[in-house]
Chain A
Amino acid sequence: MSNRVGEHTVTFSRGPRIISSHTVVGPLEGEGPYALDFDEILPDDELGQKTPEKTERLMLEIVLEKTLQKRNTKIDDVQFIIAGDLLNQITTSTLASSTFAAPFLGVYGACSTFAEAMGLAATLLQGDFAEQVLIGTASHYQTAERQYRYPIELNVQHISSNQHTVTGAGAALLGFSDQGPQVTHATFGAIVDMGLKDAQDMGSAMAPAAFSTIKQHLKDTGRSLEDYDMVLTGDLGKQGRKMLRILLTKEGVPGLERLQDGGSQIYSESQKAGAGGSGAACIAVMTLGYGLNMLKYHKAQRILIVATGALLSPLTVLQGESIPCIAHAIALEA
């Protein structure tokens, strides 16, 4: 197992890179502080589609298509598509990928899906099972609300720990090239369940998963947070970010100033999006937009993406189960 280091981390000595990517976001995200980092901002939430589910599917098709176009790659030269989303049976991914004639692997990790897909893609490349792998995730505020919560127009008062599902999609093509950010490590997380049951506060539930994966990654690689110019956690939201900081401080981990959180930052304070963004698209567009631009414009040399997911379902919530959570870490270098 020469491609492993420590207990949960795999390394990619062959140097797979993100050789192309594309992001689209909805109008709300397009008004946020990271608007300039996204490739495409949609004029509305519908794109002329009859249902938000169709819009979500179309967004994923757009990013997959444009990612290939940017690199002038045909789908025939891609050995795997790995995609996922939040909807039941990940139908957004399967419907969107049905127009691409490449072997398809569906993944689900809630809001951590994108990092899972990227880690698996890099693993396939390192193992010489593929030359190019296309990955993508999408989410839509309205489809997630109806699946996990309530009808859009219902009289619900949101509380400050509620997160707002990001409308958007991100796709990346991983392969070998001398350009583009290199994927060096992936630390796949174990499920962490602290027994929290409040689906209104997923940030607090996910923070221990992020903490566990970060700790594992640092232990496995012998690195510290200070070895990264940025550690971008995904979708913890303001409440989860606070809990992660408390956990890391208690453990005495230095370098907390390197921590940033995609969910907490994707919307500005005035946008009234509760604790911040979430959804399968959130960390995807923040990584491929903000993260890659940091590397591209030399504001960062090495970043760690820690995507978190709350693996609950509306059914398990009603049945009183706790919320199992996960976090996957991906190390990227310019």
Chain B
Amino acid sequence: MKPQEYQKLVQENSPPRPLLRNMLWAFFVGGLICTLGQLVLNFAMQAESTKAEAAAVTLAVMILVGTILTAFGVYDELAEFGGAGAAVPITGFANTVTSAAMEFRREGLLLGMGAKMFIIAGPVIVFGILSGFLVALTKALILGLF
């Protein structure tokens, strides 16, 4: 059998991914996390004077929640059915950093944890900054700020 024939055979016989179920779970889990974030924000609005300050507090709290859930081995279980719903919010970002830090701790604090804790979060930061710059540049060009 030729490789192309076999590849086609595999394609025909691969189980379909449960897209609808995954999307519903992602919606539910992601929504739950965002609702929690909103509750924290509402609470923080009472304590902080500006919305930006309240948002900063909310982010810090959500990062803490993501980190603690990761440390107790809960977050990956949540992601198992929540998928992108658990990965996309900032709790998911905290999870990528914490899980890598935990994983590589055994090669030492400096060259293990220190060097590798951004091994998964790194690309998010790099392309996050890049896309942020491009959007800002586009805005500046359209509004003629130069």
Q: Could you mark each residue 209-244 of chain A with 1 if its beta carbon is under 8 Å from any beta carbon of chain B, else 0?
A: 000000000000000000000000000000100110
B99: chain A residues within 8 A (beta carbon): 150-155
A158: chain B residues within 8 A (beta carbon): 80
Chain A binding site: helix, strand, loop or mixed by DSSP?
loop
A157: chain B residues within 8 A (beta carbon): 22, 79-83
Q: Contact between A156 and B100 (Cβ–Cβ < 8 Å)?
A: no
Chain B binding site: helix, strand, loop or mixed by DSSP?
helix
Q: Which residue on A lies nearest to B105, using beta carbons? A: A51
Interface size class of A (residues with CB under 8 A): 20 to 34
Q: Contact between A153 and B120 (Cβ–Cβ < 8 Å)?
A: no
A196: chain B residues within 8 A (beta carbon): 6-7, 10
Chain B contributes a number of interface residues (CB within 8 A of A) equal to 36
Q: Which residue on A lies nearest to B91, using beta carbons? A: A155
Q: Contact between B98 and A195 (Cβ–Cβ < 8 Å)?
A: no
State which of B14, B81, B86, B92 has its C-beta within 8 Å of the C-beta of A204: B14
- Given A194-B7, A208-B6, A246-B9 in contact, is the A153-B14 Cβ separation under 8 Å? no
Bound state CA distance, A152 and B99, in angstroms? 7
Q: What's the A-B contact tally at a CB cutoff of 8 Å?
A: 87
A193: chain B residues within 8 A (beta carbon): 3
B4: chain A residues within 8 A (beta carbon): 195
**Interface hits, B91-106 → A, CB 8 Å:** 92, 95-96, 98-100, 102-104, 106
Q: Contact between B7 and A195 (Cβ–Cβ < 8 Å)?
A: yes
**Interface hits, B1-48 → A, CB 8 Å:** 1, 3-4, 6-7, 9-10, 13-15, 17, 22
**Interface hits, B104-124 → A, CB 8 Å:** 104, 106, 120
**Interface hits, A239-270 → B, CB 8 Å:** 239, 242-243, 246-247, 250
Q: Which residue on B lies nearest to A157, using beta carbons? A: B83
Q: Tell me, rounded to whole Å, the shortest Cβ–Cβ distance linking B62 to chain A.
A: 14
* 25 CB-based A-B contacts, threshold 8 Å: A53-B106, A152-B76, A153-B71, A153-B76, A153-B99, A154-B79, A154-B99, A154-B100, A154-B120, A155-B78, A155-B95, A155-B99, A156-B79, A157-B82, A193-B3, A194-B7, A196-B6, A196-B7, A201-B14, A204-B13, A208-B6, A239-B15, A242-B13, A243-B10, A243-B13
